[in-house]
Amino acid sequence: MGYIFQAIGVQKDRMDQNEANLEQGAMPENNQNDNHNMASLLESEGLGIDFPRQGEIRQGTIASITPGQILVSVGTKSEGVISGREFEQIPADEMAKLTVGMEIPVYVINPEDSNGNLVLSYTRALEDAGWQQAEALKESKSAFKSTIVGYNKGGLIVPLGGVRGFVPASQISLSRRSGAPGESPEQRWSKMIGEEITVHVIEVDRERRRLILSERASSSESRESLKEKVIADINEGDEFVGRVTSLADFGAFVNIGGADGLVHLSEISWDRIQHPSEVLKVGQEVKVRVINIDREKKRIGLSIRQLQGDPWSEKAAGYKVGQLVEGTITRLTKFGAFARLSDDIEGLIHISEISEKRIEHPKEVLKEGDTVTLRVLKIDPANHRIGLSLRRVDSMAYADMDWKDLEQYLDGGSAEPDANA
């Protein structure tokens, strides 16, 4: 390079001489020719080259590929190098595509390291291209096809160029979700790896490295169209394995085949609960039965408890009409008193069945906590109701029944004797 600086020195001497000539009123010597010669000299020796700048993306041509290193020509006097970590980060499928003479985008990490090398990255160039593509897709609201490459507890991982996008579970198509049973993310999503997926870009944030995608936005199906199809195909009494999608004070919504049905609070459990969250959680898999369909309003009524054993019916099976039982008064109302029987079943003593005398309120005869002998008047399994009577405990109408129950007990029957028998 020394002769270049010598040439530059000569040019400078000539320019200084020209300035002196101008001061003395003389014309400069060959100024135009000197400038042209200077530009030619700089260009011939590489000083007119557009040197790469850190952070820019350039198109280069692969000059060689060796284990651990790729040399790429980007128009400078020497090739840039992709090595070390930047070489190792190139995905195997991308590496298999690379060939000598192929044009690829590269990211300039360092225009000149301590060894004088131009340090490049292929993966960073792909990532930048991915972000640009994502921004363009979001702007145009266009869809793109990709492949599911992974998952986490919240959804699926889908690549866009060199960027990994995330499809939240709520943005996965209903048909794909309905075909993914299981409690854990592995059970739900692992079988989807390798499947093709079409998605829309719904959020791009380069700084936070956040790319959110949606399959539902790209799917031709809609929640309403799927619901119409499901409603047309199902019948009351059909049973499904569904997934809880949301909880409300009045019940839980369960997705069956791509449509949400409502499990009313009263149909969740045989036990009394104040809120669905006491026994259910979002994402939980449950068995449900279709109990009503309103095709006009597109509503599906479901039940969880009807597929479970009815503990009330099992307990009530030990009672019969006319039987004497012992109960504890739990509540007093204007229309009667409630009594809890030995199996934690409550029965109602209507005000007309409390006393032979006319009373205005049960508190005239009973108080909460009283333990009394009662007679079973009615058993209604469908509505979980037992009618009781206090005033008919000594009724002669049941004398024969009481006597037979006592004889059975005295003869060694397995049944406990009825109270006051």
Q: What secondary structure, in 3-state letters, does 277-339 show? A: HHCCCCCCEEEEEEEEEECCCCEEEEECHHHCCCHHHHHHCCCCCCCEEEEEEEEEECCEEEE
Q: Which residue shows structure tokens 């192929």?
A: 102
Q: What is the pLDDT along the chain (421 residues), one digit of tens a residue?
A: 333 333 334 444 444 554 555 445 444 444 444 444 444 544 444 455 567 888 888 899 999 999 999 999 988 777 899 999 999 988 888 899 999 999 999 999 998 888 888 999 998 998 888 899 999 999 988 888 999 999 998 899 999 988 999 999 888 887 787 666 677 888 888 889 999 999 999 999 988 999 999 988 877 555 566 677 788 888 999 999 988 988 899 999 998 877 889 999 999 988 888 999 999 998 899 999 999 998 888 889 999 998 887 777 778 888 888 889 899 999 999 999 999 987 678 899 999 999 989 999 999 999 999 999 999 999 988 788 899 999 888 877 776 776 776 666 666 554 445 544 4
Rounded Cα distance, 407 and 421, in Å: 10
DSSP one-letter string for 68-112: TEEEEE-SSSS-EEEEHHHHHTS-HHHHHH--TT-EEEEEEEESS
**Half-sphere exposure at residue 210, Cβ-oriented, CA atoms within 13 angstroms:** 7
Q: Which residue shows structure tokens 């009815």?
A: 310
Q: What's the sign of the alpha-carbon dihedral 323, 329, 331, 337?
A: positive
DSSP, collapsed to helix, strand or coil, labels residue 20 as: helix
